[in-house]
Amino acid sequence: MVRLPGGDVLVTSRDTAAITRINLSSGAETALGTVSQSVSNVSSGGEAGLLGIAASPDFASDRLLFVYHSTGSDNRVARLRYEESAPAGSQLSGYTAVLTGIPHAVHHNGGGLAFGPDAMLYASTGDASQSSRSQDRNDLGGKILRMTPSGQPASGNPFSGSVVWTLGHRNVQGMAWDAQGRMWASEFGDHQADELNLIEKGRNYGWPDVEGTGGGSGLTDPVATWGTDVDSPSGIAIAGGSVWMAALRGARLWRVPLAGTKLVADPASFLQGSHGRLRSVLALDDHTLLVGTSNTDGRSQPGSGDDRLLELKVT
Domain spans of the chain?
A: 2-313
pLDDT band at 126 (very low <50, low <70, confident <90, very high): very high
pLDDT, tens only, 207-240: 999 999 988 889 999 999 999 999 999 999 999 9
- Return the pLDDT at 215: 80
pLDDT, tens only, 130-188: 999 999 999 999 999 999 999 999 999 999 999 999 999 999 999 999 999 999 999 99
Alpha-helical regions (H) of the chain: 59-62
pLDDT at residue 305 tops 90: no
The residue among 47 and 301 whose pLDDT is bigger is: 47
CATH superfamily of this structure's domain 2-313: TolB, C-terminal domain (2.120.10.30)
pLDDT at residue 301 tops 90: no
Give the residue from 89, 92, 91, 90 showing the smallest Cα distance to 78. Answer: 92
3-class secondary structure per residue, 155-168 = CCCCCCCCCEEEEC
pTM score: 0.97
- Return the pLDDT at 298: 84
Burial code (b: 16+ CB inside 10 Å, e: under 16) for 108-120 equals bbbbbbbbbeeeb
Question: Distance between CA atoms of 186 and 32, rounded to whole angstroms?
Answer: 29
Give the chain's count of helices (H) and strands (E): 1, 24
- Return the pLDDT at 263: 95
pLDDT at residue 303 tops 90: no
